[in-house]
Amino acid sequence: MQRKFMAWGAILAMLSVMIGAFGAHMLKTVLSSDDLAVYETGVHYHMVHAIGLLVIAVLIGQWGESTRLRWAGWLLIAGTVLFSGSLYVLSISGITILGAITPLGGVCFIAGWVCLAWEALSRKS
């Protein structure tokens, strides 16, 4: 699982840079300032949680694999797809119904961080 989460984290980080660059260079003149802010929020959370996934991969290497760490990793991946993905599509397309998906991604992020904290606090050393 360590290698899988390390690869996912690296790929998500790379995609965050690419998507951010696309927004900065191609969408800056196309989107309104409000839509661009929504897009940039997606990019920011995308990168933060890609780094979080890399941290989880490193912790699996140090602490060993556990159910909570696996859940934390998968929840951060799901959160990135749901939260950031919905913000990207919402800002570009204007399909406002996608705003209903964004909070589900936020819940995944929160649950993933809770799983990580729970694992850390349950460690004896």
- Cβ 75 vs Cβ 109: under 8 Å: yes
pLDDT tens-digit profile of 91-111? 999 898 888 999 999 999 999
Give the pLDDT confidence score for residue 99 in this predicted structure.
86
Q: How many domains does the chain fold into?
A: 1
Residue 125 lies in a domain: no
Sorting pLDDT into bands at 50, 70 and 90, what band is 124?
A: confident
> Whole-angstrom Cα distance, residue 98 to residue 93?
10
Neighbours of 28 (CB within 10 A): 11
Residue 123 lies in a domain: no
pLDDT tens-digit profile of 29-86? 999 999 999 999 999 999 999 999 999 999 999 999 999 999 999 999 999 999 999 9
Closest CA to 114 of 61, 71, 83: 71
Q: How far apart are the first and last CA of the chain?
A: 22
Q: What are all long-range contacts of 57-64, with beta carbons under 8 Å and residues at least 24 apart?
A: 57/2, 57/3, 57/5, 57/6, 57/9, 58/6, 59/116, 59/119, 60/1, 60/2, 60/5, 61/2, 63/119, 63/123
Residue 90 lies in a domain: yes
Domain that holds residue 72: 2-118
